[in-house]
Structure 1
Amino acid sequence: MNIFVSNLSYGVSDADLRELFEEYGAVSSAKVIMDRETGRSRGFGFVEMGDAEGQKAIDELDRAEYDGKVISVSVARPKENNNNRSGGGFRGNRGGGGHGGNSGGFKPRRNYDNNNSY
């Protein structure tokens, strides 16, 4: 069973998370998710353990206080592959911004050359 744990204190490590859940049974893996750019915890993680032990851990740890914060513990849902979303940030928004070409009402300057007669 894959378990989602959120609202973790930023000081909680993989080992801390594993230790917390080992009270309920054997833990296959425990991972606190870190921000790639800052290296700081994002405040959530995942724990993999057997179904019966996992359900007991969810029942007892959901809304429990851990390291000064009330954590939320639930069955992890698979990440949705939603192709309709733009992906956030600026990736999906191709337009906007800037003053774009000639649309501002200004005519482009003529290229005056000494060889041309006017």
Structure 2
Amino acid sequence: MNIYIASFDIQWKNKDLETLFSPFGEVSSAAIEIDAFTDKSRGFGYVEMPDESQAKSAIEALDKSTVEGHQITVQEAEPKELRRGSYKVGSASVNPYRFKKN
């Protein structure tokens, strides 16, 4: 089960998320989302736990709990949607064979 966690200390690393969830069971992965421009934490991340019952007990125990002075939000992550761009790359009106090699 994929778990969403937010509002934790921005100094946290992936290992801190793994340490927080490991008492509840096996953690497959833990990843904090990083801002591409500042290279700093965006304040949320995801933890993957293979056992659904362990994941649900972690969510129940940790949601709205206070960790290092921050009240964190923990919930089941929503499935990621496939997003399409708002414009097409290239143009259908351009004939690729219009330009000939010499």
Q: What is the TM-score of this pair, normalised by structure 1?
A: 0.67
Question: Residues of 2 paired with 1:27 and 1:12: CA distance?
Answer: 17
Larger radius of gyration: 1
Structure with the larger RCO, 1 or 2 (CA within 8 Å, 6+ apart): 2
Q: Which amino acid aligns with 1:38?
A: T
Quote the offset at 1:80 in angstroms.
Answer: 3.1
**SS of structure 2 residue aligned to 1:53:** helix
Match of 1:40 in 2: 40
Quote the offset at 1:59 in angstroms.
Answer: 0.2
Identical aligned residues as a percent: 40
- Map 1:1-118 → 2, pairs under 5 A: 1-49=1-49, 50-81=51-82
Contiguous gaps of at least 5 residues in structure 2 = 87-102
Question: Residues of 1 paired with 2:16 and 2:45: CA distance?
Answer: 11
Question: Residues of 2 paired with 1:82 and 1:30: CA distance?
Answer: 24
**SS of structure 1 residue aligned to 2:28:** strand
Contiguous gaps of at least 5 residues in structure 1 = 87-118
**SS of structure 2 residue aligned to 1:56:** helix
RMSD of aligned residue pairs (Cα, Å): 1.4
Quote the offset at 1:82 in angstroms.
Answer: 5.6
Quote the offset at 1:67 in angstroms.
Answer: 2.0
**SS of structure 1 residue aligned to 2:24:** coil
**SS of structure 1 residue aligned to 2:47:** strand
